[in-house]
Amino acid sequence: MSIKKGKKFPYGIHVKDMKDLCRDKPIEQVPASDLVYISMSLHIGAPSVPIVNVGDKVKKGQLIAKENGPVSANVYSSVNGEVVSIEDINNGLGLRQKYVIIKNDKTDGELLFDQMTEFSPSALVERIRLAGIVGLGGAGFPTAVKLTPKNPLEFLIINGAECEPYLNCDFRLMIERTDDIYKGIKYTAKALGINKIVIGIEANKPEAIKAFEKYDDIDVVILKKQYPMGSEKHLIYCTTGRKVPTGKMPFDVGCCVHNVKTMIACYEAIELNKPFTEVYMTVSGKGVNNQKNIKTLIGTPYQDILDFCGGLNGLAVKFVAGGPMMGKALLNLNHYTRKTASGLLALTAEETNATQPSNCINCAVCAKNCPMRLMPMYIESYALSGNFEMAEKYGAMNCIECGSCAFNCPAKRSLVQSISFAKAKIKEMKQNGR
């Protein structure tokens, strides 16, 4: 056991964290909805393939969609009931995705996996893959893939930074379910064959740091409050001092980063034999009446979650799935809890501070804030003029889309939008070229 202070990475920004809105509220369970809408694209990679038909009776914890290829994940029913429809729906992100819609019959009981008899690394990875666990830090990369690295690793880094403003669910889990997280971490470390475990927690969560002090085999690193501390590359740098080279992955420097929520899911899958059907979220923002930390089932409509939190007070102008810095705005409230859900924010006009963009004044504030040390203004202007080769030359593909540039831009330019557009175009160009 050791507690040490983490490094500071150059640049980055300080965002008003707004965590006080629901920092002290324990996690509450949202009652199951009448209808749950389970997407087949709850993760990065190929969409899952539904294996149930309309009219089938399903139990909670029953496999309803199988993984499709190596980078994919199983999907389980989150309620007991009947499949009423399998159709393509336009969701709140503006994407058309295949959904399995299940009518909840409100009966008890659920299906569980068999108790594990041997805890070998391969058996643990197999269980995590079977349970359909994906990285819950936001990207949704299937965890089992991350647990089978090509080269031996040295560090298991647990991400408890939660650097996004507003969000508190990781913090609440760290103090309410410390032991479960610890067990999950131990199983994950075993699966990877690593004995150096580091948990990085931002300094604004002293209770969580205290909670993890008691374990002998975990190093707690107190991270400086700096955005984007939760970014994989920056977390690795701040906890171990290693820099992930441009275009490489964390396992290239012998590190593996997992979120605390993923650890809870792993614990539940391995020890409690539960498939992955429950997620933890923060419902916050000044547009919602009661800000809460909640536990909810995958597929719960966001409208039901908002009703559980006392409804809206009419001030909200913008709804965000995820954190305010990297989350996705919702086109409408026809959106349903996904595996990677971490927050639902109802932001007021005062909070969003949205204004029309004006001319770039070349102040270089974006370049001074970029944690990846890029030149966002050049990438943007090349992206807008369609010169994607130059955008790539200025490092567009290194962008982690953390939003530090656009947050402080005095001209309010949509830098992240232009850069992610450039990234998509560059990927397209490369695919066509090869």
Binding site for other proteins (CB under 8 A): 9-10, 15, 94, 165, 233-234, 237, 243-248, 303, 317-320, 324-334, 345, 347, 351-356, 358-364, 367, 371-375, 377, 394-395, 398, 401, 403, 406-412, 414, 416-417, 420
Q: Smallest gap, in angstroms, from Cβ of residue 17 to other proteins? A: 11
Q: Which parts of 52-162 are beta strand (E)?
A: 57-58, 63-66, 75-76, 81-90, 96-104, 155-160
Q: Smallest gap, in angstroms, from Cβ of residue 381 to other proteins? A: 11
How far, in Å, CA of 99 to CA of 39, rounded? 4
Q: Are 336 and 37 in contact (CB under 8 A)?
A: yes
Nearer to other proteins, 66 or 368 (CB): 368
Q: Smallest gap, in angstroms, from Cβ of residue 412 to other proteins? A: 6
Nearer to other proteins, 108 or 389 (CB): 389
Q: Smallest gap, in angstroms, from Cβ of residue 212 to other proteins? A: 27
- In the three-class reduction of DSSP (H, G, I as helix; E, B as strand; rest coil), residue 152 is classed as coil
- In the three-class reduction of DSSP (H, G, I as helix; E, B as strand; rest coil), residue 399 is classed as coil
How far, in Å, CA of 98 to CA of 224, rounded? 41
Q: Smallest gap, in angstroms, from Cβ of residue 364 to other proteins? A: 4
Q: CA geometry: angle at 271 spanning 270 and 277, to 5°?
A: 65
Nearer to other proteins, 171 or 407 (CB): 407
Nearer to other proteins, 81 or 403 (CB): 403
- With 0-12 / 13-18 / 19 or more C-beta atoms within 10 angstroms meaning exposed / middle / buried, residue 397 is middle
- Please give the structure tokens belonging to residue 289: 């009446």
Nearer to other proteins, 153 or 326 (CB): 326
3-state percent helix, strand, coil for the chain, nearest multiple of 5:
30, 25, 45
Q: Smallest gap, in angstroms, from Cβ of residue 422 to other proteins? A: 13
Secondary structure (DSSP) of 207-225: HHHHHHHT-TTEEEEEE-S
Q: Which residues contact 302 (CB under 8 A, 6 or more apart)?
A: 92, 319, 321, 330, 333, 335, 336, 337, 344
- In the three-class reduction of DSSP (H, G, I as helix; E, B as strand; rest coil), residue 84 is classed as strand
Nearer to other proteins, 58 or 374 (CB): 374
Nearer to other proteins, 273 or 420 (CB): 420
Report the DSSP pairing between strands 255-259 and 155-160.
parallel
Q: Smallest gap, in angstroms, from Cβ of residue 202 to other proteins? A: 18
How far, in Å, CA of 275 to CA of 186, rounded? 19
Q: Smallest gap, in angstroms, from Cβ of residue 149 to other proteins? A: 18
How far is CA 428 from each of CA 96, 149, 423, rounded to the nearest angstrom?
20, 27, 9
How far, in Å, CA of 120 to CA of 207, rounded? 34
Nearer to other proteins, 15 or 173 (CB): 15
Nearer to other proteins, 14 or 427 (CB): 14
What residues does 29 pair with on adjacent strands?
A: 295
- In the three-class reduction of DSSP (H, G, I as helix; E, B as strand; rest coil), residue 181 is classed as helix
Q: Smallest gap, in angstroms, from Cβ of residue 205 to other proteins? A: 20
Nearer to other proteins, 117 or 355 (CB): 355
Q: Which residues contact 315 (CB under 8 A, 6 or more apart)?
A: 286, 287, 348, 349
Please state the φ and ψ torsions of residue 66, each to the nearest 5 degrees: -95, 155
Q: Smallest gap, in angstroms, from Cβ of residue 405 to other proteins? A: 9
Q: Smallest gap, in angstroms, from Cβ of residue 362 to other proteins? A: 5
Nearer to other proteins, 20 or 179 (CB): 20
